[in-house]
Structure 1
Amino acid sequence: MEPKPAHAGRLRIVVAGWEGGGNVPPTISAVAALCARGHEVTVVADDSVARDARAVGARFVGWKRAPNRPDRSAASCFVRDAELADPFTAFAAWCERIFVGPSEAYARDLIDVMTVEPTDVLVASDLLFGSVLAGEVAGLPTAILATNVSICPLPGHPPFGPGFLPAVSAADHERDRSTAAWAEEMWNGFLPNLNAARQALGRKPLARVLDQLHAGDLHLLATSRVFDYPTAGLPEGVRYVGPLLGEPSWIDAGGARPGSPDRPLVLVSFSTTDQGQSAVLRGVVEALGRLPVEAVVTLGNVLDGFDVPVPANVRIVDSASHEAILPHAALAITHGGHGTTLRALWHGVPLLILPMGRDQNENAARVAYHGAGLRLDLASEEAALAAAIARLIHEPDFTINARRMAEALRAEPPAGERFVAEIEQLHARHRAHPTCAA
């Protein structure tokens, strides 16, 4: 059955989402912007996202065939990174269980929704390859939303994952070539899964897993050009829309207040999913306890039973509004999730980043590249943590660079408006030229 077109003007938009922690707030921010514009939006996602989607005015449909988390608990997560040997094993598990393995299930769920409801545009997820396949099969204009830096390296960028700085030497370029080949091999280990889904849905096989992303008309990066590495040009259809910095619906807006004005305030926030951050959090709390600072540690409502001796100058809360704390902060300490990183930079706050995996090395590398913070290994001892914290607070260049980044970010047009404009223009182009993509 062909998806039904909606009437002109007010668009019917289907947005594919999934519960991955930090990817949810920017996805919901995008949905909120579409709803505020007057479009009718249906979010198809894990049941744990239902409350957020409905709160901004969208209709919600839970995944039926595809994996579906009922809540945000660690027990419901399909991949528990902390239980796996290393980030490479975790990546393979995510590919098998979410990104590529269930592609047919994700695609069929979306096609069912788009067949019943009039649909003008599909907003797919860059990490749900089945969502992009659904748009290809349905023949709908499809925008792929990336809630972080691009997983497909842009021209002149190093390969995604390890957190390399841009190449400046022959050895760097060779490093990038060999790492890119290894990453390609990792992705293509799941090519049989993707091609089985494509065959079941009447599409030809692909030679590479990442070629599935070429089926989208637009690839919208919810990050900033000024945060990302420089690039000579963007591939056709790739656009920066800027960071979508909505906060989760479950935060406690009154959960924490700034400390005394004569002692620098430090915000500590690691993942909103359990990535095994308890050990590093303990080390950070111990280091902060020995310094003349005030600190607020937010646990992301995910670490039940987190138990550590709490120094007098540290407050630990399940959640609190970072938007309320950061204007008063001198430093943010984090794992380097994209949302936390960009929100700190938006407020001109330098960062100490201890990456745990996923996209975090990439964000940490960009912060270091711009001189707006430092990156440390997770295994860093208390003395190293304390020394880095002292440097970031007392050496002015870090704050100067972070504030320069804040000025550049704030000078950009609002990300929600840019996202909506791209979706509306995509629809208009397809109405005018149905066979034209970006």
Structure 2
Amino acid sequence: MRYLLAVWDGGGATPPNLGVARLLVERGHEVVVLGDPTLAEAIADTGAVHRTWPTAPQRTSTAPEHDVLKDWECRTQLGALLRVRDRLMTGPAARYAADVVAALDAEPFDAVLADGLLLGALIGAEARGIPTGLLVGSVYLQPSRVRPPFGLGLAPAHNALDRARDRAAYALMSAAARAGMRPVNAARAEHGLAPVRNPGEQWDHADRVLVLTGSAFDDPPPDAPNVRYVGPVLEDIPADGPGIALPPGDAPLVVVGLSSSYMKQVDLLTRISRALASLPVRAVITTGPAIDPAEIPAAPNVAVVRSVAHAELIPRAAIVITHAGHGTLIKALAARVPTLCIPLGRDQPENAARAARHGAAVVISKKSDASAIATAVLDLLLEPSYREAAAALGERIRAEIDSGVLLAELEGLAEVGRQAR
């Protein structure tokens, strides 16, 4: 069967989508990926065919100045969310829709799979009547009457007051989302589709919303009938080389991975490195493509590299220090490793709060000094309950990955499309 996969270069948010491509190719299906030029190598590594977006916005290099969002420029979390809305989700919807329609008109596909932020790609698939799977490489982010409001790290409702809170937050967030929908509805009108009130309604038009996380990790499931939890896809960002020489000795290994995209994290990485240099541990710090490893001080017990495969390092770690981006965090939990979460923005406070509620993480501020970071690391190393909680949660996440539900959903979508052709 043939799939069209629509993605964008979202740093660590992108590998799960490409892992879906790899899974389908290994199953014997054909996958064509519309994606940024910066993803060419990673897409080729999956065995899929890469095509750049003809007109939609995209990154031409990993340099910060070529980032589509530049959300680190925003002073508030709300400002950053509006930046994502205007530059990715809604603003360029017509261009994404046109590119997907052109691809579908040029050759036959049985299903379209699209990153959940690319509302325009979903419009293009809907316009041509192709079965659509929306990929959510994180926890479920849309407002819901049965879940806490996004962005505050609140716990699920436990009483009538909490439930009233969630219903009120749903109404407020849905209303706020309507403010950016004019470009979406203009694109829908161009393709003969009725308007929608908010991004959640566009998601509702997809045949499936496939949430690529552990259902045990997320809060209670949303009240949308097309949502399926299918387990995380533990795809790695391509590494610089085959491996890394760890610092010598047998002290506990600490793996550090902050965002693979630029989020002004140099100072935080420096404080983490100094904290780890003062402790009886071995550490590997990965800076990602946006940061030169030479900018971060190393030490005899602290190696600093641009990248290394998470699958190689994380299972050997005693703890992982992360910004709580979903990719790094869920890989640690799936490997039964507790985490020190230092959120920088985006969905990271939500991810960190969930890990902490499960007892598998300590969460500290991104402004924490080296002493506070060192104290948190020691807490995680010396208190066994964190590792026990991570092991318990990891078992449940692994079971969902091994269940095969993701592949069943993907092939089910394409089978419907093939029968309709």
Give the alignment's TM-score, normalised by structure 2: 0.94
- 2: CA distance between counterparts of 1:259 and 1:355? 30
- 2: CA distance between counterparts of 1:40 and 1:322? 27
Q: Deviations over 1:201-245 (max 9, x none)?
A: 2222222232111110000011111211244x7631211111100
Measure how far apart 1:54 and its partner are: 2.1
Specify the SS of the correspondent of 2:117: coil
Measure how far apart 1:271 and its partner are: 0.3
Conservation of the 8 A alpha-carbon contact between 1:348 and 1:403: yes
Corresponding residue for residue 388 of structure 1: 376
Conservation of the 8 A alpha-carbon contact between 1:331 and 1:350: yes
Corresponding residue for residue 128 of structure 2: 138
Counterparts in 2 of 1:99-118, with a 5 A limit?
Answer: 99-118=89-108
Correspondence 1:37 to 2:24: no
Specify the SS of the correspondent of 1:341: helix
Counterparts in 2 of 1:344-359, with a 5 A limit?
Answer: 344-359=332-347
Counterparts in 2 of 1:221-240, with a 5 A limit?
Answer: 221-231=211-221, 235-240=224-229
CA gap 1:259/1:241 in 2 versus in 1, 3 angstroms: farther
Correspondence 1:55 to 2:42: no
Conservation of the 8 A alpha-carbon contact between 1:258 and 1:328: no
Higher mean C-alpha displacement, 154-163 vs 381-390:
154-163
2:408 pairs with one of 421, 431, 435 = 421
- 2: CA distance between counterparts of 1:123 and 1:327? 30
Conservation of the 8 A alpha-carbon contact between 1:255 and 1:321: no
Q: In the alignment, residue 218 of structure 1 is paired with which amino acid?
A: R
CA gap 1:245/1:57 in 2 versus in 1, 3 angstroms: same
1:253 pairs with one of 232, 242, 252 = 242
1:124 pairs with one of 108, 114, 129 = 114
1:85 pairs with one of 71, 75, 85 = 75
Conservation of the 8 A alpha-carbon contact between 1:264 and 1:329: yes
Q: In the alignment, residue 36 of structure 2 is paired with which amino acid?
A: D
Correspondence 1:398 to 2:386: yes
Q: Deviations over 1:243-293 (max 9, x none)?
A: 1001112443313426421x2111111000001111221221222222211
Measure how far apart 1:183 and its partner are: 2.9
Counterparts in 2 of 1:62-211, with a 5 A limit?
Answer: 62-153=52-143, 156-169=146-159, 172-173=162-163, 175-211=165-201
CA gap 1:400/1:259 in 2 versus in 1, 3 angstroms: farther
Measure how far apart 1:409 and its partner are: 2.1
Q: Deviations over 1:298-346 (max 9, x none)?
A: 0012213752443332111111122111222111111001110011111
Measure how far apart 1:51 and its partner are: 1.9
Measure how far apart 1:129 and its partner are: 0.5
Higher mean C-alpha displacement, 127-136 vs 383-392:
383-392
Unpaired runs of 5+ residues, structure 2, are: none
- 1: CA distance between counterparts of 2:248 and 2:122? 47
- 1: CA distance between counterparts of 2:81 and 2:294? 26
CA gap 1:186/1:303 in 2 versus in 1, 3 angstroms: farther
Measure how far apart 1:398 and its partner are: 0.2
Conservation of the 8 A alpha-carbon contact between 1:81 and 1:274: no
Specify the SS of the correspondent of 1:242: coil
Q: In the alignment, residue 292 of structure 1 is paired with which amino acid?
A: P
1:241 pairs with one of 225, 230, 233 = 230
- 2: CA distance between counterparts of 1:381 and 1:113? 50
Specify the SS of the correspondent of 1:15: strand
- 2: CA distance between counterparts of 1:77 and 1:186? 26
2:206 pairs with one of 216, 222, 230 = 216
Higher mean C-alpha displacement, 207-216 vs 130-139:
207-216
Corresponding residue for residue 354 of structure 2: 366
Q: Give me the identity figure in percent.
A: 36
Corresponding residue for residue 318 of structure 2: 330
Measure how far apart 1:122 and its partner are: 0.7
1:281 pairs with one of 269, 280, 290 = 269
Q: In the alignment, residue 255 of structure 1 is paired with which amino acid?
A: I
Conservation of the 8 A alpha-carbon contact between 2:34 and 2:52: yes
CA gap 1:38/1:77 in 2 versus in 1, 3 angstroms: same
Give the alignment's TM-score, normalised by structure 1: 0.90
- 1: CA distance between counterparts of 2:35 and 2:29? 18
Specify the SS of the correspondent of 1:22: helix
1:313 pairs with one of 285, 301, 325 = 301
CA gap 1:34/1:172 in 2 versus in 1, 3 angstroms: same
Q: In the alignment, residue 328 of structure 1 is paired with which amino acid?
A: R
Q: Deviations over 1:116-135 (max 9, x none)?
A: 11111111221100011111
Conservation of the 8 A alpha-carbon contact between 2:239 and 2:308: no
- 1: CA distance between counterparts of 2:173 and 2:398? 34
Specify the SS of the correspondent of 1:143: strand
CA gap 1:378/1:171 in 2 versus in 1, 3 angstroms: farther
- 2: CA distance between counterparts of 1:318 and 1:58? 25
- 1: CA distance between counterparts of 2:232 and 2:199? 27
Q: In the alignment, residue 203 of structure 1 is paired with which amino acid?
A: L
Measure how far apart 1:197 and its partner are: 1.3
Measure how far apart 1:36 and its partner are: 1.1
Measure how far apart 1:431 and its partner are: 5.9
Higher mean C-alpha displacement, 115-124 vs 67-76:
67-76
Q: In the alignment, residue 243 of structure 1 is paired with which amino acid?
A: P
Number of residue-to-residue matches in the alignment: 421
- 2: CA distance between counterparts of 1:75 and 1:212? 31
